[in-house]
A and B are shown apart, each in its own frame.
Chain A
Amino acid sequence: MAKKILVVEDDKFLRELISQKLATEGYDVIEAVDGDKGIEKIRTEKPDMVLLDLIIPGIDGFEVLAKMKADPGTANIAVIVLSNLGQKDDIEKGLEMGANDYLIKAHFTPGEIVEKIQQILK
């Protein structure tokens, strides 16, 4: 069965690009455009992995991460933070809160992002 990935990203163009890329790689892709929708879909859809942007409308990515990690039902879902916040403290905060990886969007191509996903979901 195809692995299910939730893309939480408010930028329409980026969301569509990465979703398309993931779909072509054979993943089952679902989307959320803000933090509230994000946490809701994490709870209802139970995806295998969340690609999580940090600066998003509603509750921000860190809060989404905190909420899902605090809920035993969703705590084990893998998370890759995919953000353009590139400060060291943001990166450390994300990893400390339980993200499997932290990628700066501008530094990775969709292909490289897929590679990371594959590594983690292996």
Chain B
Amino acid sequence: MVDKIKELSGGQRKIDELQEDINFLETYVSDIFSFMPAPLAFVSVLGVILEVNPAFTSISKFAPDEIIGEGVERIFREKEIQNLIKATLKNSATEGVKMSFFPKNNKNGIPVQVFAKVRQDTEKNNLGVFLSLFDLTDIEKVLEDVKQARDDAEEERNKTVAIIQNFVDGLLVFNEENILLSVNPRVEDFFKIDTKKLIGKSLEDISKVKALEKLTDIFKEKVVFRNELKINEESILEMTTVPITSGARSQGTLVILHDVSRESLIEKMKSEFVSLAAHQLRTPLSAIKWITKMLLDKELGELNEEQEEFLKDSYESNDRMISLINDLLNVTKIEEGRYLYKLSSGDITETINFVINNYKDQIGRKKLKVVFQKPINKIPSFKMDVEKIKISIENLLDNAIKYTPEKGNITVTLKMIGKMVQVSIADNGVGISEKQYPRIFGKFFRAPEVVKMETEGNGLGLFIAKNIIEAHGGKIWFESKVGKGTTFHFTIPIK
């Protein structure tokens, strides 16, 4: 009996212990349930919410007593949640289904991922379903941002590609290793080649393509700015290369090919026109020159003094007309940029002497004193276009003579300064007023003061001189004081 009681009391103790264990487990589970940061809900097989944890309360904004006992369709789309529960009951678990979740007072819902697990009793009867939610709002937002950024970048890229593809100029993009990255269709038009095959090729490989030989040759130069690239007689391009940099880092080179065929055609037509017009104008002028000269030489009979004077004036006017045409031709050639014709070894001292000598008559007539100061050591000959340098010195000396009153002084100075020769032509003539300074080397410019003094002159002399000197790599400038005189200087580097 005692044994039986012992056994019973032992059993009772065991039951108590078990009860204790169960209680402990229950609080344990309930603690975990409350603590779980993931929102959890337990839903009956029929879809009634039976239990929620604090995280669920927090995400749903429903207090537990507001939501427990309610149907799940209150917080999910009916169809979605019924499908989920059905699937979960069938497969015992469902992993990460994306669904809309509707917290209190939120009609739009928020995206969540739902994990579901069936709870069964020991007899394997389904008791209900655990639902765990994962809030996707932030992730969706990030994904949205990423997508937006990608779309923006894509759009930007498309825009750039569209610009490049449709640009009127031909464009080639090389990376820093001179590998061709992209080419636009204009390049294909220009060179009549299939450029797709060239992408990814190195400059060296591209230079083997016959049509692109000239382009790659120019590319090798250090600075390429509007270099002429002649494809054939009809099409001429201007090539410019631009380094592509991002910050201080070089990312490659952009080659721009601008079609100037039309411009150069017009340029050529203009040049031909001027040359023809000059020819046409010179013919009657030649006739006048010849006949006047023959009359003046009395080949056609004697002349009285007055007749001879008039004829002389008309002969000189005619010669001026001829030289005006020459000047106009010079200007046209300057504008065509092919003015410097022939560089040969020339003696600057001799050239100056020659020019001064040519003006002997005019100098004598105005009783001017012209001095030529040259260095004791003879300046060696150097490369220049002698004819053109002569023209520049003539133009400067001509001005000095014209705008210096009778008995004035003109000093021509020649000296070496380092690797340059400097020529200065100083007069004590009328001078140039300060407000005319900026225009003095302009085309067709004549200062109002000098127009009054000397009606002749076409305003091209200094323009031509400046272009000649600069084409030689030299500089031209002046100093002047009204009423005191003017000094023009120019330098030419010795090469």
Contact = CB atoms under 8 A, between A and B. Distances in A.
A86 B329 contact: yes
Nearest to B333: A87
B293 interface: yes
Interface string B282-313: 11011101110110010100000000000000
B341 A88 contact: yes
Contact of B278 (A11, A84, A88, A110): A84
Interface string B335-359: 0000001100000000000000000
Contact of B282 (A18, A21, A87, A105): A105
A110 B279 contact: no
Contacts of A109: 289-290, 293-294
Contacts of B322: 106-107
Contacts of A18: 290
Contact of B283 (A84, A88, A107, A110): A84
Contact of B279 (A13, A55, A88, A111): A55
Contacts of A86: 278-279, 282, 326, 329
A8 to B, nearest CB: 14
A56 to B, nearest CB: 12
Contacts of B422: none
Contacts of B325: 106
- By size class, the interface of chain B is 20 to 34
Contact of A110 (B285, B293, B341, B342): B293
Interface string A8-35: 0001011001100100100000000000
A14 B287 contact: yes
B285 A106 contact: yes
Interface string A48-86: 000000010000000000000000000000000001111
Contacts, number: 55
A104 interface: yes
B178 interface: no
The secondary-structure label for the interface of chain B is: helix
Contact of A11 (B287, B294, B297, B342): B287
A85 B293 contact: no
A107 to B, nearest CB: 7
Most buried by B among A17, A85, A106, A107: A106
Interface string B353-397: 000000000000000000000000000000000000000000000
B82 to A, nearest CB: 96
Contacts of B294: 17, 21, 109-110
Nearest to A110: B290
A85 B279 contact: yes
A84 B281 CA distance: 9
A106 B283 CA distance: 7
B251 interface: no
B321 to A, nearest CB: 9
21 contacts: A11-B287, A14-B283, A14-B287, A17-B290, A18-B290, A24-B299, A55-B279, A84-B278, A84-B279, A84-B282, A86-B326, A87-B275, A87-B329, A105-B283, A106-B285, A106-B286, A106-B289, A106-B325, A109-B290, A109-B293, A111-B293
Interface of A: 11, 13-14, 17-18, 21, 24, 55, 83-88, 104-107, 109-111
Leading 10 A-B pairs by shortest Cβ distance = A105-B286, A84-B282, A109-B293, A106-B282, A106-B322, A106-B286, A84-B279, A13-B287, A17-B290, A110-B290
